[in-house]
Amino acid sequence: MTERFDFDRPCEAPFELVPVDERQGVVSKEHRSRLFVHTVHDGDVIPSRFRWHADGTPTVPLDQLERAHVRERDWGANLVAKSLAQQLGLPVYGRVRIARALLDFNRFPGSTPPGNHEPLERLAITPPFCDALSHPQKMDLLDVYDRISDGLEANFRDKLIVIGVHTYDERNPSATSRPHLSLVNIPAGYQREARMPYGVFDPIYPDVLGESTCSRILRDRISLNLERAGFRVISNHPYALPEGSIEVRAQVWYFFTYLRVRYEAEHPSTAADPAHTLVWQMLLNTNVRQALPESLRGHLHRYQRATPEHEALFRDAAAAYDRIRRFIGESNVCRDYRRDENRPSSLALEVRKDLLCELDPSRAHPRPATPTMRQRAHVIGRVIAGAIRTYLETDRELQHNADGMFDGEASP
């Protein structure tokens, strides 16, 4: 059988920064260094060591692999990300090179268990590869996950606004047409239960922070500008953000980073304390890939016994954890973080696939983007960049000064 996709193209790094043509950009230079645009599901590489067994037989039959690739890939997302980065005046955008059919970075690490058919609850290694790879291959693949995580975290660290570009199918399972775009900013668990699901992140993460992964004014400014440009836009439909998505994980990481700065400013002697250091590692371990912090989590919340060599450290860490928990409850740190004008926003942007690509009549292979499709990507990027500029120059300051206005305590 002839391959329709070149999965073996060169890929030195699973995550890369893609240079874009220099543009003037609509956002002022002072803000550009705090913006980042990325894609996680428009990759096209499947390294050969995951495609073939040692005896030369394929891990996944080629026809099955190609169907999964067509179904899973966010076709056209890189087009929009490139356009948006250009319009913002950014020198690069970030992209995951690994095909989603092999590894879904927007989920927690692990292998999806048999019988799990809920897309938002699956893990990073999904069908068909979760049933096909050996344990050593899965360990190898999750090392790739870690490299992607390191690359994205390095580019998220000091940002104010992060936009993740995705694409979704033209129609719902009911055959009704989806809006042109969906702006997604609510974790699925919070949308379902009005709180963060227990056991996903550390329970001292305040539930109220699950309301949104980004400024709602930013989301609504983008929505308004897109509607004015003729696009139909919806929010958090047909699905919300999985807790394992980079948008949700980043928000937890941002809060605990902010908390650590505030806590150590009041308790400077704890900065070099090994027990406190381990607790911070546990709280910041949002991709659950570090063994010792996860062992501490099990000790604190599942009452697992510490190994003899860690008993003293874990006992001190439990005391440090209680101090940090009390600090959250007794201080205004949560309120201050919510109101901080530098609180980062991470927003997922879903664009309908048929606006950006077209499948051949057999629906087996996407055709190259037409000039019209490229122009749509350009327009989407231009409109969103203009909305971000308005937010940064006008809305953000108004939002910061609006506290108490609805009670008559302030005036516009």
Q: Would you say residue 214 has pLDDT above 80? A: yes
User: For position 7, what pLDDT does the model report?
Assistant: 87
1 confidence band (pLDDT: 50, 70, 90)? very low
Q: Would you say residue 73 has pLDDT above 80? A: yes
Q: Would you say residue 118 has pLDDT above 90? A: no
For 52-61, which contacts have Cβ atoms below 8 Å and span 24 or more sequence positions?
59/129, 59/132, 59/133, 59/137, 60/128, 60/129, 60/132
Q: Would you say residue 303 has pLDDT above 90? A: yes
Answer yes or no: is 142 within a domain.
yes
136 confidence band (pLDDT: 50, 70, 90)? very high
Q: Would you say residue 328 has pLDDT above 50? A: yes
The number of folded domains in the chain is: 1
User: For position 367, what pLDDT does the model report?
Assistant: 85
- Residue 19 CA to residue 30 CA, distance in Å, equals 20
- Residue 311 CA to residue 328 CA, distance in Å, equals 26
219-250 per-position pLDDT tens digit: 999 999 999 999 999 999 999 999 999 999 99
Arithmetic mean of pLDDT over the chain: 93
Answer yes or no: is 327 within a domain.
no
78-90 per-position pLDDT tens digit: 999 999 999 999 9
Average pLDDT, stretch 390-410?
74
CATH of residue 40:
3.40.630.40
Answer yes or no: is 40 within a domain.
yes
Burial of 63 per CB tally in 10 Å (0-12, 13-18, 19+): exposed
User: For position 147, what pLDDT does the model report?
Assistant: 96
8-23 per-position pLDDT tens digit: 777 779 999 999 987 7
- Who's near 222: CB < 8 A, 6+ residues apart? 183, 347, 349, 384, 387, 388, 391
Residues of the domain holding 181: 15-259+343-407
Average pLDDT, stretch 153-169?
96
Answer yes or no: is 397 within a domain.
yes
The listed range with the strongest mean pLDDT (20-29, 82-91, 191-200) is 82-91
Answer yes or no: is 204 within a domain.
yes
The predicted model scores a pTM of 0.93
What is the share, in percent, of the chain residues with pLDDT greater than 90? Answer: 83
Q: What is the largest CA-CA distance in the chain?
A: 74
Q: Would you say residue 288 has pLDDT above 50? A: yes
Answer yes or no: is 149 within a domain.
yes
Answer yes or no: is 275 within a domain.
no
- Who's near 79: CB < 8 A, 6+ residues apart? 356, 369, 373, 374, 377
- Residue 95 CA to residue 81 CA, distance in Å, equals 9
Comparison of pLDDT for 34 and 120, the residue scoring more:
34
**Hey, CA dihedral for 402, 408, 411, 412, is it positive or negative?**
positive
